[in-house]
Amino acid sequence: MSEKLKPIHGVGNGPGVRNVERRINLFKEAGIQYSRTHDPVGGFGSGEFVNIHCIFKNFDADVNDPASYDFQMTDIYIKNIIDAGTKVFYRLGETIENGVVANPQLRKYTIVPKDFQKWAEICEHIVMHYNEGWKDGFHYNIEYWEIWGEPDNIELWDGTDEEYFEMYRIVANHLKNRFPDIKVGGYGCSGLYAALNPNNNNEWFRALVPYFKNFIKYVTSNETKAPLDFFSWHCYTNSLVEFEYCMKFARSYLDSQGLTQTESILEEWNIGGECVNGVWENSIFRKGTKAAAFVGCVFALMNKNGVDKANYYDAEATRVNWCGLFDVYTGNPCKPYFVFKAYNELYKMGEMFDFGIEDDGSLYSIGAVSNDEKALMISNYKGVKYRVNIPAEKISGCKMAEIYTIDENYDLELTEKITLGNNGAELTINTNSVILVKFR
């Protein structure tokens, strides 16, 4: 039985709330599958949107009183995601408070809730608003609900590991009992890098894998059992080897603990960045062709290594160092956006197809087939120019190949047509570029 391509072309954040018509259309054109509601809208958006303290502003208020909730701004934000044809991946929690390690007085919201059961009931009413129409709400049927995010990061959680574990147990059980059809999960793991390198010189990185294992042990133990429909985790690196290893590790460890039905969701990811003469140039680098080629490679790797869904960080243009999809000043799409658009062409076809191209560490491919049509995306990251041969039997019956290119000069534009004979096809792909090949 053939395998379906994964809905991995999701993003962090949606079209936003200002001047959104064009952005909504760009989301539609790229077929963006999911929008994770973390760090919403501008300057980390902790003022009015999505975060628990933005909706339930006084924790001592009556949890059952509709007047205790303010959904006005978040409703606009969520509606624009829905209007873009994108599904909502709702993060229940708070936005990161950068700088609280050096300046603890800056911390206001990333604190341990003083009543876990009440916090669970607040979350219940948020689900009610968006899925059951409570308080002049909606019936969006939002499926994925994440409980907090990066509690293993001191800038997002000021409590102990055990306090988060307990909160997760209480909230996950409460929500799942109340809404059996939704999916609950967490915890937005900050990274599994030390799985590949246990002697990583970053002490925090070394602590993240034991945290993951302790969390899984907690939610699977009879005494503290909790539903985990999905495990969410993050990865930022320039190494495709590291990306692939973390993907395999997450899936294999969940399986080893009996969580074979728990989805592995890479909910935050991006290329690590680039330092030039001691200066990090990420606001430019993540929008360029090298980053685009990296994105294409990661799409291929995710399909082949047990990732079920994914959300690229980030689609919020004002987050200039992280948003590789859109320019903050013009709103124009940047090079990685067109890789999302190319992948969506494959995704719409549905079935994965193996063209017999061997991945080699800097060249990765992913193929699709639908009825008598086939398509192939090849991404070349950091390598030399490649020539790739497609065996004749893989494209039998096809008469023409159309090549669409993403590089310094082209934005997924038709650059070549090849008439096919009986000897297969030879394709050329330049360094730091992506091609989409449609076989007719």
Beta pairing, strands 309-312 & 10-12? parallel
| Confidence (pLDDT) at 43 | 56
Beta pairing, strands 309-312 & 411-419? unpaired
Selected from 2.60.260.20, 2.60.40.10, 1.10.3720.10, 2.60.40.1180, the CATH number assigned to the domain covering 363-439 reads 2.60.40.1180
| Confidence (pLDDT) at 222 | 98
Tokens in use for 266?
Answer: 């890479």
Domain residue ranges in the chain? 10-350, 363-439
Whether the CB-CB separation of 187 and 147 falls below 8 Å is answered with yes
**Position 70 pLDDT exceeds 60:** yes
**Position 1 pLDDT exceeds 90:** no
pTM over 0.75? The answer is yes
Helix (H, G, I), strand (E, B) or coil at 267: strand
| Confidence (pLDDT) at 61 | 98
| Confidence (pLDDT) at 183 | 98
| Segment 156-186, tens digit of pLDDT | 999 999 999 999 999 999 999 999 999 999 9
**Position 200 pLDDT exceeds 90:** no
Confidence at 312, pLDDT banded by 50, 70, 90: very high
Mean pLDDT computed over every residue of the chain:
95
Residues 6+ positions from 215 with CB-CB distance below 8 Å: 161, 165, 168, 187
The CATH architecture of the domain made up of 10-350 is Alpha-Beta Barrel (3.20)
| Segment 78-90, tens digit of pLDDT | 999 999 999 999 9
| Confidence (pLDDT) at 143 | 98
Helix (H, G, I), strand (E, B) or coil at 135: coil
Q: What type of residue is 420?
A: L
| Mean of pLDDT values over 117-138 | 98
Strand segments, DSSP code E, in 271-343 are: 275-276, 279-280, 309-312
Cα 300 from chain centroid (whole Å): 14
Confidence at 44, pLDDT banded by 50, 70, 90: low
DSSP track, 183-242: EEEEEEE---GGGT-TT-S-HHHHHHHHHHHHHHHHHHSGGG----SEEEEEEE-S-HHH
Location of structure tokens 């909230």:
171
**Backbone dihedral region for residue 258 (phi beyond 0: left; psi -120 to 50: alpha; all else: beta):** left
Tokens in use for 258?
Answer: 């009996």
Taking alpha carbons only, the member of 419, 345, 408 closest to residue 376 is: 345
Q: Could you say which DSSP state residue 326 is in?
A: B
282 or 276, higher pLDDT: 282
Location of structure tokens 């590089």:
407
| Confidence (pLDDT) at 45 | 57
| Mean of pLDDT values over 371-391 | 92
